[in-house]
Amino acid sequence: MAAHQSSEWRSVCEKFRLAQELSEIESRKDPENNPFRSKYKARDLLKEIHCSLKKIEIEEEGEADNEADCESREMVDGELGSECGKSCSGDSPAGLRAARLAVVQYCLGVNHIETEELSAGEQHLMNCLKLIDKCTTTRENVSLFIQARNQLGILWAGRDEIEKAQGFLEIAESMYLLYMREDGQPPLDLEDFFVLEGEELSQQEKIRRFEMAYTHTLYYLAQVYKNLQQYEKAGQYCHSTLQRQLEYKQFVPLEWAINAATLSQYYITKTRYMEARHCLAAASVIATLAGEIPSEAAAKESDAECEKREELLQKRSEIARCWIKYCLNLMQDAKKLLEDNIGELDLDRQEELKRARRSVEEEKEKGRKSAILFGSSDTFDSICSLEEKVSSMLPLDFEEARSIFLVGQSYVAQAKEYFAMDGHVTDHIEILQDHSALFKVLAFFEQDLERRCKMHKRRVDMLEPICKDLNAQYYLLICRQLQFELAETYYEMMDLKLAVADRQDQPDVHTIKKFNNLCSSSMKYYQMFLDSIRSPEGKFPEKLEDDLLRPALVARFRVARLQSKLISSNLDTQLENLTNSLDSYNFVVQYCEENPEAKKAVETELELSIEMVSLLPLKINRIRSKITSCN
């Protein structure tokens, strides 16, 4: 790189600086009716630089062929010339000349992509690769090698050519790993090719920019693997990206936090709760780096403060919702392990799991934790402190489940700060449904039947007012969900009251009244759900849609059971209840006979319905006989 101090070289360096400034800073100020004004100016400068480089190249080689002077523009706008026809070392004079030209081609490629001229952008990026691919990879061109492939990976991914994108990005990844293994010295950055002596970037800044380019490679590969449905790989690359962004301080706090919280949801699906908790703890801590939430008073006085308040509340509430899912899934997975064949807590299984956990979990956690840690010295302690507030192990008894429940419940309150009913109906109701689900799974661990019943009553208290107020015309699906859940909740409360009553010699009047009210409430909501399926003329569909098949048949089956459970001393009322029950059981049986494919969806319910269809007529006839004899 002789002639670095010549006036022409100084002019080239200044033009490159201006082109960068136009692209990265001035372009943000471009008017809406001319959004690429600064980009086009930068492009013109880059073309001038390319022409000057060709001239300098000829001078450096001691050649005087005038044809190369400005015919080189053909290469800028078209195909590559043959100035580097032979293989050369990346750090040789020829290699450095090729790298300088390749940087200009790279910048022109990015420029065209940013102005939505994708084909031209692709051509320039390929020209860049052709130039540097003729040279060995060295510290002079390795960063450019990776960044050009990153850009081509993004370009092809945007065209939904995911496998082509994968090819470019995986080569970039392997080149980084090879370079770091064999050399590892801070490589030249693209700017280093166009600075005067003494103005080069510091070694630290070169490392930072090189590592940032590789972080981008990992980030884009995470998206590629996700699109290819290679979710395990996508999760690994996303985790590595987040780790590197923290390590090199290349992140926007709220954006990073949301990405980490989103990654936690992937780990939850794989029951990797330690990793999920770590992601969420890191998300919560890093989100605080975005600053304090402005007060309502401050938000009213300033648009900027209002926007900041809105954004911070929203993002932190989104992270809180991820915490709720963590607590809920952790408890639900424990329930699946601990329940017996009728859905109750299996005490023998509970004791067995407790013994196994004591000897295994501690060592298992130590081995996995070292590979997944986030944070730097200033955030690590805060992240660990937050992790300690909630377990990552499946709860095996009520106290363990309750501690997780309380954490989840605290995040419910936090999530509702932004996702209020006014303005966020769907989100608010989903949060309430998760809150209800937390109570439901906590009740599984509770051995006291009365206390368990009170937990279900809390679910009713939070969902029933919403269900009554919601307009089914606009929120039909949500109304159906709420109706079915309320029906199920009352149904569970009825079963609990029945179990309590069975322990008594003779239920008192109050207990019978309470029991009947629970039955009636459950039937009411099941019937509301079933009525929502009817046509505007009130006709029930002859064939149920797939997503409604099991819920509708289960609803009819449970209505049948509830009708038969109602307690009455009046024989006429008993006869009416059992007749209605028989009709409902008959509906389930007849529907499955007419639609055999439905049998698999309700095997247990169908078996019991067939049994009741044969038994109930006998009971009905006995009651009729009693009525006749009484008359």
Q: What is the 3-state secondary structure (H, E, C) of 587-619?
A: HHHHHHHHCHHHHHHHHHHHHHHHHHHHHHHHH
Tell me if 618 is assigned to some domain: yes
Q: Looking at the structure, tell me whether residues 208 and 324 fall in a common domain.
A: no
Grade residue 158 by pLDDT with cuts at 50, 70 and 90: very high
Tell me if 65 is assigned to some domain: no
Grade residue 80 by pLDDT with cuts at 50, 70 and 90: very low
Question: What is the pLDDT at residue 371?
Answer: 55
Tell me if 368 is assigned to some domain: no
Look up residue 525 and give its two tokens: 């909501």
Q: Looking at the structure, tell me whether residues 212 and 307 fall in a common domain.
A: no
71 compared with 536, residue with greater pLDDT? 536
Tell me if 292 is assigned to some domain: yes
The CATH number linked to 232 is 1.25.40.10
Q: Looking at the structure, tell me whether residues 310 and 221 fall in a common domain.
A: no
Distance of alpha carbon 625 from its chain centroid, rounded?
A: 63
Mean pLDDT of 246-253: 91
Domain final residue pick, 250, 277, 300: 250
Give the whole-angstrom CA distance, residue 550 versus residue 558.
12
Grade residue 11 by pLDDT with cuts at 50, 70 and 90: very high
214 compared with 374, residue with greater pLDDT? 214
Give me the residues paired with residue 339 across strands.
345
Q: Looking at the structure, tell me whether residues 190 and 315 fall in a common domain.
A: no
Q: Looking at the structure, tell me whether residues 592 and 618 fall in a common domain.
A: yes
489 compared with 83, residue with greater pLDDT? 489
Burial class (CB in 10 A: 0-12, 13-18, 19+), 350: middle
Report the length, in residues, of the chain. 631
Q: Of 460, 469, 464, which is closest to residue 425 (Cα–Cα)?
A: 469
Give the whole-angstrom CA distance, residue 69 versus residue 512.
102
Q: Are the beta carbons of 274 and 368 closer than 8 angstroms?
A: yes
pLDDT digits (tens, 9 = 90+) for 512-530: 899 999 999 999 999 999 9
- The backbone torsions φ and ψ at residue 517, rounded to the nearest 5 degrees and listed phi first, read -65, -40
Query: Is the pLDDT score of 74 beyond 50?
Result: no
Q: Are the beta carbons of 409 and 436 closer than 8 angstroms?
A: no
Q: Looking at the structure, tell me whether residues 245 and 257 fall in a common domain.
A: no
Q: Looking at the structure, tell me whether residues 390 and 246 fall in a common domain.
A: no
Look up residue 238 and give its two tokens: 């996303």
Please, what is the average pLDDT of the chain?
90
Q: Looking at the structure, tell me whether residues 282 and 412 fall in a common domain.
A: yes
Q: Look up residue 229 and give its amino acid.
A: Q
Question: What is the pLDDT at residue 60?
Answer: 67
Q: Looking at the structure, tell me whether residues 341 and 414 fall in a common domain.
A: yes
Tell me if 285 is assigned to some domain: yes
Domain final residue pick, 395, 418, 441: 418
Q: Among 305-314, 355-364, 458-467, 475-484, where is mean pLDDT lowest?
A: 355-364
pTM: 0.86
Mean pLDDT of 254-269: 96
pLDDT digits (tens, 9 = 90+) for 321-375: 999 999 999 999 999 999 988 888 889 898 888 888 866 665 555 555 555 677 6
Q: Looking at the structure, tell me whether residues 215 and 287 fall in a common domain.
A: no
Q: Are the beta carbons of 251 and 211 closer than 8 angstroms?
A: no
Look up residue 17 and give its two tokens: 């600086």
Which structural domain range is residue 164 located in?
1-59+92-250
Provide the sign of the torsion angle of the four alpha carbons 357, 363, 369, 371, taken in this order: negative
Grade residue 377 by pLDDT with cuts at 50, 70 and 90: low
Tell me if 595 is assigned to some domain: yes
Q: Are the beta carbons of 65 and 82 closer than 8 angstroms?
A: no
Give the whole-angstrom CA distance, residue 544 versus residue 182.
65
Tell me if 84 is assigned to some domain: no
Q: Looking at the structure, tell me whether residues 274 and 316 fall in a common domain.
A: yes
Query: Is the pLDDT score of 82 beyond 60?
Result: no
Domain final residue pick, 250, 270, 294: 250
Question: What is the pLDDT at residue 72?
Answer: 42
| DSSP 8-state class, residue 135 | B
| DSSP 8-state class, residue 345 | B
Question: What is the pLDDT at residue 362?
Answer: 58
Q: Looking at the structure, tell me whether residues 202 and 327 fall in a common domain.
A: no
Domain count, the chain: 3
Question: What is the pLDDT at residue 440?
Answer: 97
Query: Is the pLDDT score of 596 beyond 80?
Result: yes
Q: Of 365, 384, 366, which is closest to residue 374 (Cα–Cα)?
A: 384
pLDDT digits (tens, 9 = 90+) for 112-143: 999 999 999 999 999 999 999 888 889 999 99
Burial class (CB in 10 A: 0-12, 13-18, 19+), 195: middle
Tell me if 338 is assigned to some domain: yes
